[in-house]
Amino acid sequence: MTPRAPKRYLSRHLYIRRYCNLKYYIRPLSREQAAACKLFSLYGLIACLLCTQTAWAGPWTQEKSTAYLNTTLLYQTIEGQTAWRGEVYSEYGLTPDWTGIAKIDGLKFADLSGFDQYGYQIGLRRALWQKGRWQSAIELSYIYGPNVIGIEQGCASPGGLIRFSFGANGQNKKGRDWYLFTDTALQQHKGCFRQRLEAGYGREIRENWTSITKFYLDFGTGYARSIKTETLLSHRHGKTHIHIGVRQELGGNFEEFGLIMGLERRF
């Protein structure tokens, strides 16, 4: 018994999704069928790489005429595929309540050059409310890539992002700094939707050394379903911070591990 031919109105990715669902078939998959299923899985894995960008979020704004710059390099392995991601992220204090944001990033695969991507973000963050050590902010951005999802329609188009942040910072009894925050971000393209929930905590463990832990959940249309944790160790030298850390997928749908190296400076 052979499977029914797919209807013409089925989109390519829906067809492959049905193609890979073994409940539709009695015979084992042929070599061509297995290759199509592998490609389908690869699109999903690439989507997870593309939608999990390093986040430098939180409700804090820069003081007027001051700047913040962060450069990050990530080495990631996902289901046997390796990739490098580079990011340059900056903030500039326009007023005491308004901060400008700009970011450019790129993704380079070791063996899949056809899936290399780049993208950028331009936006504004506005302080909303502050009471003591607690505060909140809203962020609006224009974005383009690399949240492309291959065969998913709409995600390759320009889009918009809105983010709400809430957090606090202060010092403990030993005079060491700490901070915590939670974010929710909504990202919309034509025919493509993403949402991220994120929480983070950082504390100074000794003079000039800070540990940072983040958890975040991504979901939306297509394959954007991921739960990750990120642990960083940061060393401060004057106005410069050096980061090293790891990223790990916890969702169980695929295996992903990443090494993070970063450099940030305030001006």
Q: What residue segments make up the domains of the chain, in order of their start?
A: 53-266
pLDDT, mean over the chain: 77
Which of the four pLDDT bands, split at 50, 70 and 90, describes residue 250?
A: confident
Question: For residue 182, what pLDDT is reported?
Answer: 95
Say if CB 1 and CB 22 are below 8 A apart.
no
The answer, yes or no, to whether residue 211 has pLDDT greater than 70, is yes
Say if CB 194 and CB 216 are below 8 A apart.
no
Tokens of 264: 């940030």
CA distance 50 to 41: 14
Question: For residue 1, what pLDDT is reported?
Answer: 39
For the segment(s) 53-266, the CATH number from 3.40.50.1240, 3.40.630.30, 1.20.1260.10, 2.40.160.40 is 2.40.160.40
Write out the DSSP string of 59-92.
S--PPTT-EEEEEEEEEEEETTEEEEEEEEEEEE
Question: For residue 35, what pLDDT is reported?
Answer: 46
Nearest to 145 by CA among 77, 51, 14: 51
3 state SS of 5? coil
Mind listing the pLDDT tens digit for each residue in 62-94? Answer: 999 999 999 999 998 877 788 898 999 999 999
The answer, yes or no, to whether residue 46 has pLDDT greater than 90, is no
Question: For residue 253, what pLDDT is reported?
Answer: 66
Question: For residue 34, what pLDDT is reported?
Answer: 47
